């Protein structure tokens, strides 16, 4: 699949993450962990959030496949919430590109990796 502009690429990835999240939410539910608040999905692109909220016919999004609009439906029906997050804080960055030392170390700590003996994180 080819994305024609950045927002579309981000939108497609968000859709894919959302799908996985819906599955995980079911799994967590089956394990009897009751989660009342909506599941948060952090996304560092404001256009994605705009598209997912507003289904007004946009000139540049008109050719996008209907299935991607499921994010909107997920938000309304399945308790998913898209939230904007700055790129700096984006945890997923650790998994998609090489980072500089400071950012790398900060993110590494936040995903729950720590040295033995300084166990206070996670």
Partner 1 sequence: MKDKFEMNELGLLSYFVDMEITWSEQGYFLCQKRFTIKLLNKFAMENYKLVSTPMVLGQKLMKKDGAPKTDGKAYRRLVGNLLYLIDIHPDIVFVVNYLSRFMQGPSQIHFVAAKRVLRYLKGTLKFGMHFMKSSSIKLIGFSNSD
Query: What are the residues binding partner 1 (CB under 8 A)?
Result: 9-10, 12-14, 16-18, 20-21, 24-25, 28, 33, 35, 37, 39-44, 85, 87, 90-101, 104-105, 108, 111-117, 119, 121-122
How far is residue 32's CA from residue 84's CA, in Å, rounded to a whole number?
A: 29
Q: Supply the minimum distance, in Å, between the C-beta of residue 72 and partner 1.
A: 15
Q: Which residues pair with 84 in a beta bridge?
A: 43
Other CB atoms closer than 10 Å to residue 81's CB: what's the count? 12
Q: Report in angstroms how near the CB of residue 23 gets to partner 1 at its nearest.
A: 11
Least distance (Å) between residue 51 CB and partner 1: 13
Of 75, 91, 83, 86, the C-alpha closest to 40 is: 83
Question: Which of 57, 112 has the CB closer to partner 1?
Answer: 112
* φ, ψ at 21 (rounded to 5°): -65, -40
């Amino acid at each position: 699949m080819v994305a024609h502009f950045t927002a579309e690429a981000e939108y497609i990835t968000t859709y894919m993450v959302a799908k996985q999240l819906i599955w995980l939410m079911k799994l967590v539910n089956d394990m009897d962990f009751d989660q009342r608040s909506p599941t948060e999905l952090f996304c560092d692109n404001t256009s994605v959030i705009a598209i997912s909220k507003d289904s007004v016919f946009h000139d540049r999004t008109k050719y996008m496949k209907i299935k991607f609009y499921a994010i909107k439906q997920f938000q309304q029906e399945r308790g998913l919430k898209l939230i904007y997050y700055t790129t700096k804080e984006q945890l997923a960055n650790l998994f998609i590109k090489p980072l500089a030392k400071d950012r790398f170390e900060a993110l590494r700590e936040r995903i729950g990796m720590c040295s033995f003996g300084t166990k206070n994180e996670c």
